[in-house]
Amino acid sequence: MAPAHNKLTIFPWLDAPLYNRIRYPQWKIYLYNAAQKMCTSLDATGAYCLVARNDDWNAHPKNIIPARPATPGGTPQQLAAIRARPVIAMPAFYARAATVYEREAWKLEKENFEKFDEAETIVHAAIVESLSQGTIRTINTQHVAGISS
C-alpha cells in the first residue's frame, strides 16, 4: 500500500522580506501547532521536537518534569528538569536467529521511524514553500547542504 502524502501549508508566508519580522511570530506559532498534531502517538509533543527552538522546547509544559520533595521513606529530593528531545533513529536490523518478538519489535521501531521521517519531510517542505525565493537562494549559497540543512 502506498503511503498517503500529506501537504502542510504554513500561513503567513515569509515571502516578503519587508514584512518577515512582523509575520514571523505568527508563522512560528502555526508551525509549532502543526508539528504538535503530527506523530502524537509516538511522543507527548508530537513532531514538535523536530521544529522547536531550544528555549521554546524548554518552556513547553509537557517537557517540564516538576521537582519532587524528599520523602520520609528515604527517597531523595529530585530537582525540576527538562525532558530530553526524543531520538527516533532507524533501528539496527535484527539477527538471523531473532525471535518473533525481536522481529516484531524491529518492525514497530521501523514504522515509528518512518512516521517521524514522513513528518519531518512534510514540515520541511512546508517551511521551504513558505519562504521567498531570495531567502532560499541565500540559504543555498551560505550553507553547504542548502535548504536541506
pLDDT along the chain (149 residues), means of 10: 66 83 92 95 95 96 93 87 94 95 97 96 93 87 84
Predicted pLDDT at 5:
58
The residue among 31, 8, 45 whose CA lies nearest residue 121 is 8
Which residues pair with residue 78 across a beta bridge? 68
* Chain length of the chain: 149
The residue among 48, 75, 54, 78 whose CA lies nearest residue 66 is 78
CA distance 145 to 140: 7
Cell (9 digits) for 140: 543555498
pTM value?
0.82
Predicted pLDDT at 146:
85
Query: Alpha helix locations (H) across the chain?
Result: 20-36, 48-51, 54-59, 100-130, 133-142
- Using DSSP's 3-state secondary structure scheme, residue 14 falls into strand
Predicted pLDDT at 2:
43
Domain ranges of the chain: 20-144
